[in-house]
Amino acid sequence: MEIQKARSGSTLTFTVIGRLDTTTAPQFETELKSSLEGVNEFDIDLNAVDYVSSAGLRVVLLAQKMMNKQGSMVVKNVRPEVLEVFEMTGFTSILNIK
């Protein structure tokens, strides 16, 4: 997995490429914790992600909880395979998916 970060003022975008799974979720968590200071709009672009396991859900939930305290978060360009996982686990009702 690779994360491309783009910051513009207080808006941050993570473009994730690859799988968000047990092996890669810790890297996402590290990047998240080191990048969110001063951010009040956080976008996660999942256009290049087709695989999210529960370890991936855990870090997306962590991001949502962190952003609930300091602004808003949008999950963008979700592919059908990943949307299915979000629907199956009720994540569609706690994430802002566009």
Partner 1 sequence: MKEITVDAEIGSLDRVLDFIRQELKTAGCDARAEIQITIAAEEIFTNIAHYAYNPKLGLATVRCAVSDQPLEVTLQFLDNGVPYNPLEAADPDITVSAEQREIGGLGIFMVKKSMDSIDYAYHDGKNILTIRKNLHR
With contacts defined by CB under 8 A, how many residues of the chain interact with partner 1?
Answer: 24
Q: What is the gyration radius of the CA atoms in the chain, in angstroms?
A: 12
Lookup result for tokens 């810790």? 26
Interface characters, 58-77, with partner 1 (x: CB under 8 A): x--x--xx--x---------
Token digits of residue 41: 């709009």
- The Cα 49–Cα 85 span in angstroms is 12
Q: Which stretch binds partner 1 (CB under 8 A): 4-12, 31-39, 46-54?
A: 46-54
Stretch that binds partner 1, among 7-15, 29-37, 39-47, 88-96 (CB under 8 A): 88-96
| By CB under 8 A, residue 53 contacts partner 1 | yes
Minimal distance in Å, beta carbon 58 to partner 1? Answer: 4
Closest to 82 measured CA to CA, from 64, 65, 97: 97
Of 33 and 65, which has the nearer Cβ to partner 1? 65
89 in contact with partner 1 (CB under 8 A): yes
Should residue 94 be labelled a site residue for partner 1 when binding is judged by CB under 8 A? yes
User: CB-based contacts of 39: which residues, under 8 Å, 6+ apart?
Assistant: 7, 10, 11, 12, 67, 70, 71
